[in-house]
A and B are shown apart, each in its own frame.
Chain A
Amino acid sequence: MADLKYGQINDDVLSAMGKPRAPFYFAVAFLGALIGWAALCWTYQIQLGMGVSGLNRPVGWATYITNFVFWVGIAHSGTLISAILYLLRANWRDAVSRSAEAMTIFAIMTAGLFPLVHLGRVWVVYYILPYPSQRQLWPNFLSPLVWDVCAVSTYFTVSLIFWLVGLIPDLAAARDRYEETLGPDNFLTKLYRIMALGWIGAGNQWRHYGRSYLYFAALATPLVISVHSVVSWDFAMSLLPGWHSPIFPPYFVAGAIHSGLAMVLTLLIPMRKLLHLERLIELHHFEMLAKTIILTATIVGYAYAIEAFIACYSGDLVEWQFFQWRTFGSAAWMFWTCVICNVFIPWLFVLKKVRTSIVCLFIISLLINVGMWLERLMILFTSLAHDFLPQNWGGYFPTWVEISITLGSFSFFFFWFFGFSKLLPTVPLSELKARIADEEIVSTGCCDTRIRERIDTLRPSVLAIFSNAGRLLEAVKIGCDAGFLEMETYSPVKIDQLDQVMRQPKSPVRLFTLMGALAGLAGGFWLAIGTAQVNSLIVGGKPPVSLIPFCVIGFEGTILLGSIANLIGLVIFARLFRTKTSAYYDPRFSRDKFGLLISCDAGQIRQLREILQPAAPEEIHVHQ
């Protein structure tokens, strides 16, 4: 990638969005058929009751909830890569982050189906939503299932916003490319024009955008950790042996990231090949993923070991007998498959030969997927089948309905991912380009006064076009030194130094985010406490207002409203509510050119042209 130019990155990514060939349509049709079959199976189940599944008493949850936990887990690595690694400035994330985020979105969509599929009465699922109803009965905010609803829907909303915000500059690039190749009236051009929200890469936009993105990342990071913690509380908050364990949140989060990273490999290895993205997504990126997998595998292995230790050390007879049964009883094959697939095999990545072999990477990623799916089923089914009173022990085997719906869920996921791979830029091209820009920039002194970033369209102005970020910066400095204090920049990438040179203040988007977050925190508690007082029901000996569980709701509120306020701030300040681009905008600004628009008096045009010469502009246009 290091040798690529702005244009090459742009073209590689956007060419992948070209018209698909026949096999693509066949694959999509096949997936669609499987989804249809699964949908039929679901209606069959709704008609006849959950008895068509292999669920029973005592095993009330199995394949469906396994799928839910699995897909929520898959959803984790996307935001991990986008948010946490972003904050950690791990630049290798760029090449894979877009696909990982898309995977997140589609995985949550898939996961979200399963709480519905597993419900005995899906037609009254809205009882679980916190909306004011004439029954005056609100959901029970003590229930981990309600936490789940809040956590997963928050996660979906925030991830979706985060993903879409990340897409905006790339969509603008796609818009400009389609306008060039297909003309302004083509459907695709119009579509991407709308989706790009009038993005022109102006310095002003980049400034708000950068701040906003940073706060998204900051909000998404605890969210990632929390979502699977909440999911794990579905189990840990119960009292079953094998479920009731404080290690569950870190155990589940690590497992989720583990499976998510494996799924990234599973998806990207073929995608990179099929979409010819080898120049952008390099083996180096996969190697970094593999190294991260070593870490997550180790955490998962540690969790397995701790479970064994606690079962033994706790002195709890039921727990210990249960653990022995899980590891050596009739379901032991599941346990040991999990240990081998999730811990021992991923550890092979310690060998450089293994982690640099595409074949090994792909196979191991598949094995981890299988192992992690089985792990969820193993945790779910064994605890339920073998709890306190031996008279209640039972077994479980899935039926064709559950298998069909599970296959359908995989099809559903891949269906969306196939669509994504052809409709949207699969690699965040603006971020990749930013790496080039980073190298081009040489440090420049700051202007003496703050530059005004609003161009008066009534006054004449000069637009200088560069193909190098460093030159742009240089030109800005020259301009302000010469006393031109009204300038606008256009750039395909975010250039942090521009704000310093132009002495721009920090974006007020952050205040929006703070206000939103505080409102969300208060609102979450207000909702939970308020509804608890309306209901005034005592459950499980807990008084209606039980603050500890309500912290979950408060937290989710914080993140959700914080993110939404952040988005609103971004839209307002970066003026992302238009479809038209500004008059001075050149479509190349989204590809490989940088523009500097300087406002001046009519008599200063010549002077400007001259003083800009040291920055070697490729073109100079004068607007009068």
Chain B
Amino acid sequence: MHLWHRDGRVTKAEGNPGHPVNHGGLCARGQSSLQGLYDPDRVQQALFRPKGQAEQKHSWEKALAGISAQLIGGGRVAILSSLQTGALAEVMKGFARAFGSDRVVMYEAFNYEPLKAAHQQLFNLPVIPSYDLGKSDFIISFAADFLETWISPVSFAAGFSTMHAFQTGSPMNRMAYVGPRLSLTAANADEFLLVPPGYERAVAASMLKTMLDQGWQKQDISAARGAIDALVSETGPIPGVSPEVLTRLTRSFCSAQASVALAGPTAAGSPLATDTALLAALLNYAAGRIGQTVDFSRPHALSEAARELELQQFFASLGPKDVLFVHDTNPVYSRMGAAAELSKAGLTVYLGTMMDETAQQSHWFLPVDSPLESWGDFEPAAGIHGLMQPTLSRLYDSRSAGDVFIELARRAGKPLSRTGSEAASDFLSWLKARWQGLGAADQAPEAVDSPWTLALRNGGLWDSAPASAPQSPHPPQLGALHFAPAMRPAPSDLVQLWPWSSVMTFDGRFANRGWLQEAPDPVTFLVWGNWIDLHPEKAAALGIKDGDLAELSTEAGSLRAPVRVTDEVSEHLAAIALGHGHHGLGENARGIGANVFALLGTRQDGALFASCRIRRVAGGSPDALIYTAREREQFGREIIQWVPLSKLQRMGPGEGDDLILPLPEGYRPDKDLYPKRQYALHRWAMVIDLQRCIGCGACAVACYAENNIPVIGRERVGKGREMAWLRVAPYRKPGQPGRLSWLPLLCQHCDAAPCEPVCPVFAAMHNEEGLNAQIYNRCIGTRYCSNNCPYKVRRFNWVNIIWRAPLDLQLNPEVTVRTRGVMEKCTFCVQRIRQVEYQAERERRAIRDGEIQPACAQSCPTRAFTFGDLLDPNAQVTRLTRGDPRRYHVLEELNTKPAVTFLRKVDIDTEAG
């Protein structure tokens, strides 16, 4: 990650362009790390909460003394941490070892147990392999939401857009999704099979059966035939999926140059999900994809996250003698029963930044550094080492978690040592020692810089990572395959729970970050909270209407949430997002939505998640669902346009629409009353490839971060006061309700901008480089410009904005902070344009194409945005605007001459195959 830095504070997070995982892109959650750093609800001082007494503030000295005394007094050590892979993991393990314990457990709410279990069963490798989506021609996802939260969404999004983008001359690659709910990933699929929950494995099994029947397999899996046949016959026909479709999918999967099957869903842990993972792994194996698109030699870091059995053992081992350290993880919130288990420990020490649910029941709270304040490292996949440096001095009296462990061990008389001889003085020296060792093995002798210096400069070491040949795991053990019994049909008063993980709120750890709460869910455009998706037939049978409040209950617990009635879920499903319903964390998270983890007991009833009762309760209102875009239909207006592949393939460069460009050549004597407008130096413009856009909304959050856009809050957003300059609104594809397409809509910087002439005071005006500029201190707030903008991309400051300290430290000093009463809007990140212009001026050179990256373009994981100068004939933006056969303008008929050109989505029609 790269961070913009001003006056000793960080203002913007960006992906590191050199990093092999994100390639410079960054998801919304990554953007929000700044709000984690500057979270007003961060705990600023060590706290002690003795049993039965009120909370007390303490100094570090007292805290360390108190805890080390407990350790000296024979306290047994147990450590529960969020996933750590580098030096901190070493320190924690060393710490535990020093006190004679091996209880260091990396707890992640999403531990991908089914994948690990399946891979262990088949290949004896309980790991999450690397999936190379960019190389695939065909992806089939069994409810794996790999564009949202599944394993490594940013790299998967990049890979997906690489394989799924249109490239002249090459055939279109495709993605199919099998699952019970239209997720962001499902909506991006070329084919979405809506199946009842738990039927994903049936589809996979049927595909395997087809493969075997047709003899399409490349690896022998005949030993598994019996189990597969049994499963297929036991399941019977799959609702909504015809045998022809299955055959077609199987053929596509097998005949592709490279294909991959992915198994989800993210939050699952039941035998049904393990079956899906098993069958997906078998599909990959049978089609010869292991070692091709599925690489077991580079397991993903999440492989290290504790598995279910480890967790159970860990929790069972806790006792009154234990000193339990919980680092940056929140099992009390995300795991049923964890609260009681943790309370068995004699002393609980929480190391973290936020007072989350787990911290609330700990005895000690030790405020540790935010990741942006501390040294650290992370290894997302084997061989890729990322180094984290402090990006600003500490905001509060916090310490690094590694230092706390080292210091506690020293005080308890058992100093830690990395090498075994010399005691480590602090965490930084530990980290340095580790990194010196990392690169030493294969460092070229002539290299001037040490690996440490290199890593400091580049943000990590990956170029020199050993490129071990993709290894084939052992041939699978197929004989012992058996599958969980088929689900019993649920009684009609029950619904199948489908907890899903939102691209914004993930497992709930980021719920206090305003940007993520206010960023709309890409599929529904709902904000601030979660809701229950219910099929219209089920809703009608239960007497529940859209917007009603409903109660879901399992034996584990119950929750209440508003209902959205939609045909985007399978009939007996109640889908609801995880990550909300906190009673800790802070002001933004508290009381928003409902906690779905509370429904997920450990009891297995044969369902993928759980069967639960649902009933309508009083107190709902249509306002409970807060949309920031209510309508997803196009009503024949062709806002998002598709071009059939067969037609596209016949088009050469330069063919296609004759666009009215925001240049003198855009003058049309029959349409224009006023003369041409000339630009002297630059005419900034943008191209957005809708085929690449997956709707994740990272650009919109990046825009919030870059441009000081305020978070307005739940109530006000519901009244149409949201301030997003860029919105990525979903539209349904006409005639295909299961497919959505997203329109990243920012200011179009029109040449004949309707907003400008209506402004009485020239606050909206056109600058000499074609930007539609808004002069904030000139604006008197008539709102006429917004009324007259056909794209409605201007935002009015309806209320006073209060930046709760220290969130104000995040404000970008290059961008004016607007007061109430003025209109504001996208500037194409004019501050970045100016910066590059000054830079080029100082270096006496021309601006290079692609040198200017507006925040949205920079963060986009799928590279959907291209920005540049239309006056530069060689610029990429010129080439696309003038030559791409898919080019079009939204609302071109209004003759606004927009500077943003969209590239049509590609419709893979039957004619093209």
Contact = CB atoms under 8 A, between A and B. Distances in A.
- Do these two chains interact? yes
Interface of A: 48-51, 54-61, 115, 118-122, 124-125, 127-128, 137, 139-140, 142-146, 149, 234, 237-240, 317-318, 321, 384, 387-394, 535, 537-543, 546, 548
A142 B754 CA distance: 12
B839 to A, nearest CB: 28
B788 A546 contact: no
A149 B780 CA distance: 14
A66 to B, nearest CB: 14
A119 B760 contact: no
Residue with the highest number of chain A CB atoms closer than 10 Å, among B760, B780, B783: B760
Contact of B754 (A125, A391, A540): A540
B798 A51 contact: yes
B767 to A, nearest CB: 9
B787 A49 contact: no
Contact of B637 (A48, A122, A143, A317): A317
Contact of A388 (B674, B729, B790): B790
A58 B720 contact: yes
Contacts of A239: 754, 788, 790, 894
B822 A145 contact: no
A115 B820 CA distance: 17
A140 to B, nearest CB: 5
Interface string B625-666: 000011111111101000000000000000000000000000
B780 A127 contact: yes
B674 A539 contact: no
Contact of B798 (A50, A139, A237, A238): A50
Residue with the highest number of chain B CB atoms closer than 10 Å, among A48, A60, A390: A60
Contacts of B821: 49-50, 119-121
Interface string B725-763: 001010100000000000101000001111111111110
A557 B145 CA distance: 66
A393 B798 contact: no
A140 B796 contact: no
B462 to A, nearest CB: 40
A331 B163 CA distance: 46
A238 B788 contact: yes
A390 B760 contact: no
Given A119-B780, A127-B778, A540 B756 contact: yes
A56 B794 CA distance: 12
Contacts of B792: 57-58, 387, 389, 392
A388 B729 CA distance: 14
Nearest to A143: B760
A128 B761 contact: yes
A384 B787 contact: yes
Q: A-B pairs with the 3 shortest C-beta distances?
A: A120-B781, A56-B720, A120-B821
A57 B796 contact: yes
A624 B200 CA distance: 121
Given A51-B721, A238-B754, A318 B637 contact: yes
24 contacts: A48-B800, A51-B799, A55-B798, A56-B721, A57-B786, A60-B786, A61-B784, A61-B787, A119-B781, A120-B820, A121-B779, A121-B821, A127-B760, A127-B761, A127-B780, A139-B762, A144-B758, A238-B754, A388-B894, A389-B745, A390-B635, A392-B791, A541-B677, A541-B766
Given A388-B637, A537-B766, A540-B766, 12 more contacts: A49-B798, A56-B719, A56-B721, A56-B798, A58-B720, A120-B822, A120-B823, A121-B819, A145-B760, A389-B743, A390-B631, A391-B525
A55 B800 CA distance: 15
A122 to B, nearest CB: 8
B675 interface: yes
B757 A539 contact: yes
A543 B765 contact: no
Contacts of A61: 783-784, 787
Nearest to A142: B757
B335 interface: no
Contact of B752 (A56, A58, A394, A541): A541
A60 B782 CA distance: 8
B912 interface: no
Contacts of B796: 50, 57, 60, 120
A542 B766 CA distance: 10
A386 to B, nearest CB: 10
Contacts, number: 208
A140 B781 contact: no
A115 B727 CA distance: 30
B860 interface: no
B252 interface: no
A125 B781 CA distance: 9
Given A390-B637, A540-B752, A240 B760 contact: no
B716 interface: yes
A125 B779 CA distance: 10
Contacts of A543: 674-675
Contacts of B719: 51, 54, 56
A59 B639 CA distance: 21
B766 A538 contact: yes
B424 interface: no
A388 B790 CA distance: 6
A248 to B, nearest CB: 15
B795 interface: yes
B571 interface: no
B764 interface: yes
A538 B795 CA distance: 22
Nearest to B722: A57
Contacts of B631: 390-391, 393
A50 B782 CA distance: 11
Residue with the highest number of chain A CB atoms closer than 10 Å, among B751, B758, B784: B758
A49 B756 contact: no
B756 A539 contact: yes
Nearest to B782: A145
A125 B797 CA distance: 17
Given A121-B822, A240-B788, A391-B729, A60 B783 contact: yes
Interface string B243-287: 000000000000000000000000000000000000000000000
A58 B793 CA distance: 10
A539 B763 CA distance: 10
A575 B411 CA distance: 104
B897 interface: yes
Contacts of A54: 719
A346 to B, nearest CB: 31
Interface in B23-37: none
Contact of B753 (A51, A140, A539, A548): A539
Nearest to A540: B757
Interface in B493-520: none
A538 B678 CA distance: 11
Contacts of A318: 637
A538 B677 contact: yes
Residue with the highest number of chain B CB atoms closer than 10 Å, among A51, A317, A548: A51
Contacts of B761: 127-128, 137, 139-140
B454 interface: no
Interface string B698-739: 000000000000000000100111100001010100000000
B629 A51 contact: no
B65 interface: no
Nearest to B634: A390
Interface string B661-681: 000000000001111010000
B754 A58 contact: no
A436 B649 CA distance: 90
Nearest to A50: B798
B788 A140 contact: no
A145 B784 contact: yes
B756 A389 contact: no
A240 B785 CA distance: 12
B787 A238 contact: yes
B891 interface: yes
Contacts of B722: 57
Contacts of B766: 537-541
A318 B631 CA distance: 15
